[in-house]
Amino acid sequence: MIRLVGILIGLGFTLVVLVSFGAGAYTAATEPTEKPAYYSFKQHPEAPEGGFQFAGAMGTWDIAQLQRGYQVYKEVCAACHSLNYVAFRNLEQLGYSEAQVKAEAATWTVPGINPDTGEAATRPGLPTDSFPSPYPNAIAAAAANNNAIPPDLSLITKAREDGSNYVYSLLSGYDDPQTFTNEAGEVFAETAPDYVPGVGLHFNPYFSNINLAMAPPLVVDNQVTYSDGTSATVEQMSADVAAFLTWTAEPSMIARKQTGWWVLAFTLFATILAWFAKKQVWSGVKPKRKD
């Protein structure tokens, strides 16, 4: 009797779960979803004029651009964003000598320990150190940024769809909702007249919900003075730092592409060799005649 009651209870529970699942699936499939007007204004990330040199199967790093991008990160982005997965010694891949990397690391202040007291302290960076976070903890980061914690940028271009172009578009895409138009020429303010940005938020059509807590980091041209004399327009600085962050996310990308070509060549050679081997092995075998 007890076993029968247990079976009935189990069947009843299973039936309730199936009915609930079916009702939810039906509602999700048939109920119309109303999206805010701004969804029609979301812009697809765009590449800078001329594109990135590293793009495509034959792409290569533009070392000068990566160095400029590092300068933009250091002078602008590092005030809020960390690079926890990148060490100063990795800068040698950008064409800096060992002595230059050592000197560059020393210009940064990193967390350390006082050898005399054992208490927390700070010290000049070493090539083996990672780029430090500008905030001691997440609470301090949120308090300084309108309750939004700035993400670590080490892997940001891998964490976002079409990451390199996304970073470029986001940095250069801040606009005024009263004058901003989409590809169809529609004015945002006319299509979404009830749009009101949150307190401390900024309109950016390339962000997921168009309200971005980060104020425009690149505001005016020549905000950074490039040592190689390149004109530092907002678009140029955005492209340079996007290229640098692509390198931080995947420093072996170009080597991987080059290795891929050798792998394809070997595969093609092995396929041709196997075909000739098959012809040689079966050359003496004659097919049976069908009478």
Which residues are annotated binding-site positions for heme c? 77, 80-81, 214
For residues 58 and 221, what is the distance between their CA atoms, to the nearest angstrom?
A: 32
Phi and psi, residue 203, nearest 5°:
-75, 125
Counting Cα atoms < 13 Å in the Cβ hemisphere of 56 gives 8
Q: For residue 153, what are the contacts with CB-CB under 8 A and spacing of at least 6?
A: 73, 77, 81, 82, 83, 245, 248
Q: What is the full DSSP assignment across 70-97?
A: HHHHHHTGGGT--EEEEEGGGGGGGT--
Q: What is the full DSSP assignment across 23-57?
A: HHHHHHHHSPPPPPGGGGGPPPP-PPTT--TT-ST
For residues 243 and 171, what is the distance between their CA atoms, to the nearest angstrom?
A: 13
Q: Please report, for residues 109, 113, 120, 124, 126, the alpha-carbon distance to residue 117 in angstroms, rounded to integers and kept in the order given.
A: 19, 8, 9, 18, 21
For residues 100 and 105, what is the distance between their CA atoms, to the nearest angstrom?
A: 8
Q: Please report, for residues 57, 162, 250, 279, the alpha-carbon distance to residue 260 in angstroms, rounded to integers and kept in the order given.
A: 9, 21, 15, 29
Which residues are annotated binding-site positions? 77, 80-81, 214
